[in-house]
Amino acid sequence: MRNKLVWCVLAATPLFAQVKISQGKNKIDVEIDGKPYTALYFGDDVPKPYMYPLRAPSGTVVTRGFPMEKIDGESVDHPHQRAVWFAHDNVNGVDYWNNEFSYTKGVMGHIFVTRVTKAEGGKKSGEIDFTAEWKNNENKVVLVEDRKTTFHAGGPNRVIDFDFTLTAKEEVKFVDGKDGVFGIRVASGLEEPGQKNQPKEPLRTGMMTSAEGCKLEKECWGKQSNWMDYSGKVDGENVGIAIFDHPANPKHPTYWHSRGYGLFAANIFGVKQFTKAGDGTVTLKPGEKMRFRYRVVIHPGDAAAAKLAALYAEYAK
């Protein structure tokens, strides 16, 4: 057994709650306004915690199903990109990003939830809090992660706030690398058209847009911005998904590892990878902490129609 999970007493969710949180074994389900929204997955057989799927208020799924499900027309590259996750590809030389148990190459670490401290719904919001250990290839804990995820009810958008605090158990070096840190793999319809080995159906209609107005991967990849958005048509619905980078985050505004094939990631550690200059490496001494906060907004229409600039200004306050 790779990891021992300690359960805490969880608050019961009242039946009238607009956000309902239901605890299961190695899975926590989230419903909003009586409809399934997402679920958090973790456990000894999961290489790192992930959330799957994310849905628009209509129920339309805006994240890729693979490798959790095989869906006709989806790309099947990068199995480690499981819907929504948080990791980095080089922590003291160990990869926590490209880390499926089935992989045979590379030095891999894994992230295991050890304690769920809160899983509680409510009329306007619900919250899941947990503690996890980042274990290296020698099964040694190098980082402790405390994560708070808040789900907001109401419309017209679906909004989630993520709050990650990492505490070093030894000297920890986040080495400059492109694969990090907060990642989402978007649904097929939000992929940029014309990607290599891309299935013809469903139609790819994705458009990346940054706060500065950059468009598509060619303009957006590796650039800094307060927020990034992917929008397009999914199952006949015009919908988008945005990530907001909190102004108090380290090295704000973040760099964006945003790929036309569907990877959507905020990464402060890849400075040399993105710019061919400088070094994004960050070192924590034992006991030092680093905190990251992001907001995910799933919205109707494109970035302009969703008024993301105004929404970000409100978030930034």
Instruction: Name the residue ranges covered by the structural domains of the chain.
Output: 6-316
Query: Which tens digit of pLDDT belongs to each residue from 235-249?
Result: 999 999 999 999 999
Query: Which tens digit of pLDDT belongs to each residue from 189-217?
Result: 999 999 999 999 999 999 999 999 999 99
**Per-residue confidence band for 7, with pLDDT thresholds at 50, 70 and 90:** very low
Over 90: is that where the pLDDT of 11 sits? Answer: no
d(CA 47, CA 265): 18
For the chain, the average pLDDT equals 95
Contact 30, 21 (CB under 8 A): yes
Q: Which helix (H) or strand (E) holds 220?
A: helix 216-220
CATH number of 6-316: 2.70.98
pLDDT number for residue 1: 44
**Per-residue confidence band for 155, with pLDDT thresholds at 50, 70 and 90:** confident
Q: How far is CA 57 from CA 106, 238, 270, 305, in A?
A: 40, 12, 34, 16
pLDDT number for residue 3: 55
Which strands form 50-51's sheet, in the order they lie side by side?
19-24, 27-32, 35-41, 50-51, 84-88, 180-185, 263-267, 255-258
Phi, psi for residue 196 in degrees, rounded to 5: -65, 135
pLDDT number for residue 106: 96
d(CA 297, CA 161): 9
Q: How far is CA 231 from CA 151, 202, 214, 300, in A?
A: 21, 15, 13, 9
Query: Which tens digit of pLDDT belongs to each residue from 290-306?
Result: 999 999 999 999 999 99
Give the mean pLDDT of 67-78. 96
Over 60: is that where the pLDDT of 188 sits? Answer: yes
Q: Report the Cα–Cα distance between both ends of the chain, in Å, rounded.
A: 44
d(CA 307, CA 153): 19
Give the mean pLDDT of 137-146. 98
Per-residue DSSP letter, 52:
-
Over 80: is that where the pLDDT of 12 sits? Answer: no
Q: Which helix (H) or strand (E) holds 234?
A: strand 227-234
Give the mean pLDDT of 21-30. 97
